[in-house]
A and B are shown apart, each in its own frame.
Chain A
């Protein structure tokens, strides 16, 4: 099953919600892999001057002792000092909130930002932590055994799959 969500519309909605934040000169940070694709697009659409930051939260996951290392861990790269800056953290799908928890921990190992706002393309419910987004492209209702994945990077496409068990 694919695309119940129009990515372009969702992205335009995010841009609209992000506009009022721009006067604080925010730094944008995308979470690997899908979050970086979304952030790259937003970064261009909003014409942000400073370079995009990227985070790979593999070293901060709370399921490391159960699952182990992600074999395809990428390098985190925050090109601008986050100290006292307003950050916009971007991810593709917000589900349990655990990825965001890990990302926040990692960001604070680079410095102390003035604030962090969360922007996600898809908000799907199922939160296991008290984390809520400030910017949402689209709210999608999904069951526990449904899995949503963003495909890219050339053309972004949403795939919803039934997971067994």
Chain B
């Protein structure tokens, strides 16, 4: 999958398909823009007119509440018109192909597609077939990528912890099936964290995971030692085929984040989770609701980050007819 597909000939970001291939500078530009959008959410009128008259279609082939809602709110705060389509229960069940669905929505003059699909590469495939004026944001494709989640995670880390090059970060859980983990890893490495660890049972680690630029651990006690940021992943029961974990109780005993295990990290470490949480499976409620948890701020920041991505990829798409004034 070519990351180059995301950029136009002038090198501007036109789609967001994956964090892989984004420069540190591009990522920082998105985070800085998100910082400005954060204040819009705190105002009396939580709306700016940037995308007035644009049509955004949330096209979800997999169910989602938080991601779809935050994309919807983000688009509405930019004054776009938003249509939500849960295609899993719509036309594909009548046999329509993915591209036919897209072509029909294109014929309705959609400006931005936000797409979630169970197949890795679905968003890339759509991007190759879109007309020049339309844009796409990948809201999760199979096990491959969930770039806006990765971006909102690094945005959260920067807000709480500042400089990336001083941080030790651990991603814990089902790395194998997780598109979130892959996007987090690309973002954190592009931003140059001091150390990036992944912690999981061997069965939930991809083969040759080191090639992604991470240090693997199979024991929580070793992996959590002294880290500043813990990024928990959801155990994706729906993606598990066969016996990858012995039992849920044993998984919790070994890899669930409890107050005792949290005590192994740096004293002011933050705890993150992309949601939805399996309480008592990968995370103990005392941690999820505890003082070090930044799980709800992640949701708030997710809106600002998605506003920033939409504004950056959709701005300046018309033919330039004069310089900036």
Contacts and interface: CB of A to CB of B under 8 A. Distances in A.
B325 interface: yes
Contact of A66 (B32, B49, B50, B320): B320
**The 10 A-B residue pairs with the shortest CB-CB distance in the complex, in nearest-first order:** A68-B316, A68-B315, A59-B48, A109-B45, A69-B315, A73-B36, A65-B318, A75-B36, A75-B39, A66-B318
Interface string A33-65: 000000000000000000000001011100111
Given A59-B50, A73-B33, A109-B45, A65 B317 contact: yes
A142 to B, nearest CB: 13
A68 to B, nearest CB: 3
A36 to B, nearest CB: 15
Interface in A92-106: 95-96, 98-99, 105-106
Contacts of B317: 65, 68
Contact of A58 (B29, B36, B45, B323): B36
A69 B33 contact: yes
B315 A109 contact: no
Interface residues of B, number: 30
A66 B322 CA distance: 9
15 contacts: A56-B36, A59-B49, A59-B50, A65-B315, A65-B316, A65-B317, A66-B319, A67-B324, A69-B315, A73-B36, A75-B36, A76-B36, A95-B325, A98-B325, A99-B325
A153 interface: no
B321 interface: yes
B311 interface: yes
Contacts of A60: 48-49
A58 to B, nearest CB: 7
Interface in B25-77: 29, 32-33, 35-40, 43-45, 47-50
A56 B48 CA distance: 12
Contacts of B48: 59-60, 106, 109
B50 A109 contact: no
Given A67-B315, A98-B325, A77 B49 contact: no
Interface of B: 12, 29, 32-33, 35-40, 43-45, 47-50, 311-312, 315-325
Contacts of B311: 59, 64, 69
A64 B50 contact: yes
Is the contact region of chain B dominated by helix, strand, or loop, or is it mixed?
A: loop
Nearest to B51: A64
Interface of A: 56, 58-60, 63-69, 71-77, 95-96, 98-99, 105-106, 109-111, 163
Contact of B39 (A69, A72, A77): A77
A163 B49 CA distance: 30
A63 B50 contact: no
Nearest to A165: B323
A113 to B, nearest CB: 13
A75 B311 CA distance: 15
A93 to B, nearest CB: 10
B11 to A, nearest CB: 13
A64 B321 CA distance: 12
Contacts of B316: 64-69
Given A71-B29, A73-B32, 20 more contacts: A58-B36, A59-B36, A59-B37, A59-B49, A60-B48, A63-B325, A65-B315, A65-B316, A65-B317, A65-B318, A68-B12, A68-B316, A69-B33, A69-B315, A69-B316, A71-B33, A75-B39, A109-B44, A109-B48, A111-B44
Contact of A105 (B38, B49, B315, B319): B49
Contacts of A77: 39
Most buried by B among A71, A77, A99, A163: A71
Contact of B325 (A58, A59, A96, A109): A96
Given A60-B49, A68-B12, A110 B324 contact: no
Contacts of A74: 36
